[in-house]
């Protein structure tokens, strides 16, 4: 599988139809979806044309998993903040 084929598969799975392919074709374009831009930039950064597909996929998975974990931590903190704000509001503070 080539990088372009991987992008096509990832783009097909992404909710905003075709936007990942749009960014891949014009990384400096402004399509209004910074998550799609992030995905393409991360995949491009780790892709090595001299490496095997398996090695490239393993590295791409590693960085996407790391990003997913970091985002999950941010979501957890924001949920805690929302809970604290709700409790504070309920307590009249």
The pTM assigned to this predicted structure is: 0.77
CA dihedral 59→60→66→69, nearest 10 degrees, is -140
Domain boundaries, the chain: 3-90
pLDDT, tens digit (0-9, with 9 covering 90-100), for 29-88: 777 788 888 998 999 999 999 999 999 999 999 999 999 999 999 999 999 999 999 888
pLDDT beyond 80 at 2: yes
- Between CA 56 and CA 73 the distance in angstroms is 26
What pLDDT was estimated at residue 89? 82
- Between CA 70 and CA 67 the distance in angstroms is 5
Q: Check if the beta carbon of residue 20 is closer than 8 Å to that of residue 14.
A: yes
């Amino acid at each position: 599988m080539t990088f372009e084929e991987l992008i096509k598969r990832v783009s097909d799975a992404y909710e905003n139809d075709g936007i990942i392919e749009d960014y891949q074709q014009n990384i400096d374009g402004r399509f209004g979806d910074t998550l799609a831009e992030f995905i393409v930039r991360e995949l491009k950064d780790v892709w090595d044309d001299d490496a095997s597909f398996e090695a490239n996929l393993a590295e791409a998975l590693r960085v996407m998993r790391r990003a997913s974990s970091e985002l999950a931590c941010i979501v957890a903190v924001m949920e805690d903040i929302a809970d604290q704000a709700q409790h504070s509001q309920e307590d009249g503070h």
